[in-house]
Amino acid sequence: MKNNFNAIDLFAGCGGLSKGFMDAGFNIIVGVDNDQAALDTFVKNHDGAVAVKADLSLQETFDKIKEIAGERQIDVIIAGPPCQGFSLTGPRNFDDERNKLYLAVIEMVKQYKPKAFIIENVPGMATLYKGQIKDEILKRFKKMGYNIDCKILCAADYGVPQIRKRLIFMGIREDIGEPKFPEAMFTPETYRTCRDAISDLPDLKNGIGSDESEYSQEPITEYQKLMRGNCTVLHNHLGTNHTQMVKDTIALVPEGGNYKDLPPGWGESRKFHMAWTRLNGNAPARTVDTGHRNLFHYEYNRIPTVRESARMQSFPDDFIFMGTKTQQSRQVGNAVPPLLGQALGESILKIISGDGK
């Protein structure tokens, strides 16, 4: 169901957050990013939205967005700007050049005065410099006429089979209402698991699959049915041809284990926190990575395929990833899970349509 509210996605990547907003009923007009492969994926999956490869710190990018929007009102801005600069500059140098991308989002809200906005970031930003960066962001938006709040949300609470936490800033224009975060829909006892997510997908034991293939069985769980929808072709389910050493090493790691479970002399090349981690099939996934080959399937001696990672991120099967397999893995790992985005979109929709006052 489409409504009459329009949204733009800044630092869109492949568009996980905006896919969620689209499923909540928003019209996605524009996605901006500097990664062409991610933008190719964005365009393929966002119903006529325009992708813009551009630098958001430049006024010409603002002008380009305005040109594409035309007469349409931009009701909501969603964004996931990088915040690395803040860790270097500190709260006193908030306006430092290294923070220009975050500042561009603030400027975009200032110019367009949308009814609402969502900014997502890593949880660590909430406590950076004892919370001073977070407080400065809140202060600036309040000064611009927005009621704003922030909260760390866990994707598993909203039906995503993955423990992934994000810091979410929600701003509502003060003439419209107050921010209200979505209620959790799942509890640790009812969280969806890795098996719930991917146990129906071909095991690839007899080969490494392909970018387009067939399902080998019917969906088993409610979540698998949800992810399949009406999809009849399986996309992006391509395995990785690991070396024998990698296969022999991960074969020694039990389900839910990691490098600490290896016998002496095995896996010496990787000893950092996430090395040789095997998923626990009966629990939500650890945070899906960008394809660094540290996270392995709960049963098979390989890393998850792009499609398996996408399932654990809550991308439906008809969401097709473009680019090389490496680029696809990066897109999936960097994305906001669409089901989390949908929960946020539905909350904002209630507020700006007057249903949530």
Domains 6-185+336-352 and 194-334 share a fold: no
- Give, for 6, the enclosing helix (H) or strand (E): strand 6-10
Lowest mean pLDDT: which of 88-97, 193-202, 233-242, 281-290? 88-97
150: annotated active-site residue: no
Q: Is the pLDDT of residue 39 over 90?
A: yes
Angle between helices 100-112 and 59-69 (to 10 degrees): 40
Residue-range domain boundaries for the chain: 6-185+336-352, 194-334
Q: For position 85, what pLDDT does the model report? A: 84
Q: Is the pLDDT of residue 75 over 70?
A: yes
The one-character DSSP state at 181 is P
User: Percent of the chain at pLDDT above 90?
Assistant: 84
> Fold for domain 194-334?
DNA Methylase; Chain A, domain 2 (3.90.120)
Q: Is the pLDDT of residue 205 over 90?
A: no
- 63's CB contacts (< 8 A; 6+ apart) are none
CATH numeric code, 6-185+336-352: 3.40.50.150
Lowest mean pLDDT: which of 239-248, 267-276, 289-298? 267-276
Distance of CA 157 to the CA centre of its chain: 15
Q: Quickly state the pLDDT bin for 357 (edges 50, 70, 90).
A: very low
- 220's CB contacts (< 8 A; 6+ apart) are 199, 200
List the catalytic residue out of 14, 83, 150, 154.
83
Mean pLDDT of the chain: 93
Q: Distance between CA 353 and CA 135 in Å, rounded? A: 28
Lowest mean pLDDT: which of 107-121, 221-235, 289-303? 289-303
Q: Is the pLDDT of residue 305 over 60?
A: yes
Record the pTM: 0.95
